Structure 1
Amino acid sequence: MKREILIWILRIAASVILLQTLYFKFSGAEESIYIFTALGVEPYGRIGSAIAELIVVILILIPKTTWIGALSGIGVMTGAILSHVFVLGLVVKDDGGLLFSLAIITLLCCLGLLYFNKNKLSNLLN
């Protein structure tokens, strides 16, 4: 029972973080445009990453596909973290490191979800 509650907390935390960033990416918010311009992939990278994140959220929330969403989320968040570390910096437009912190939290949630679904991943690999 406690395991299931923890899994749902991880699912919801990752999904809420990813969903709230979608609004800014899809609406073309100034900060999103700044980030993807700095990365040299505006507007296609912004829209593409938003679509990828939406797919991750859907997969994470469906119990049978949580492991696929978690694995995909790890990839997406690794890209975001590396972008912060090597291009953007940890603080973007005076956000105090909020976006970087949210990416770390989402990555940790996805890693936790993958850990709890490791049997599904190991079945795939065998």
Structure 2
Amino acid sequence: MNNHWMYWLVKLTAAGILLQTLFFKFSGAAESVFIFKTLGVEPFGRIGSGVIELIAGVLLLFPKKAWIGAIMASMTMVGAVVSHLFILGIEVQNDGGTLFILAIITLLCSVIVLFVERHKWLSLLATTFRT
């Protein structure tokens, strides 16, 4: 991305969504508890995903580590999207699909970061799997 400010906007969007949902996960908000009970992983899934999202959100804000945060965020959001599509439904407790849309936005932003930072993680893969 040639526009540095646009890239930061993408990273801040993903980090902002990840970090703002932490209050609900860590406080045991009724909607979060409902989601993770429905998935059969309450409370460990709720707390565990919150920790992963906290780390991912923070890493997205550090230029040298943003790609790691983007990998963590994208994997977590794939899980969220799949959960919505196959278990929870798009709309959870009459939220109008807000959580699903936030997961999609975070996933898209994370994929953009991974694309922009591809030289970092592709070189790591090449080094790791070099024969």
TM category, shorter: over 0.9
**Cα distance in 2 between the residues matched to 1:84 and 1:21:** 16
- Could you tell me which residue of structure 2 aligns to residue 73 of structure 1? 73
Matches within 5 A, 1:1-126: 2-126=2-126
Deviations 1:22-60 (A, max 9, x none): 000000000000000000010111000000000101111
Alpha-carbon RMSD across the aligned residues, in angstroms, is: 1.1
Runs of 4+ in 1 over 4 A off after TM superposition: none
How far 1:71 sits from its partner (Å)? 1.0
Query: How many residue pairs are counted as aligned between the two chains?
Result: 126
Deviations 1:68-95 (A, max 9, x none): 1111111000000001011100000000
- Could you tell me which residue of structure 1 aligns to residue 129 of structure 2? none
Structure in which a larger fraction of residues adopt helix: 1
* TM-score normalised according to structure 2 size: 0.93
**Cα distance in 1 between the residues matched to 2:21 and 2:49:** 10
How far 1:2 sits from its partner (Å)? 4.7
Percent identical residues: 52
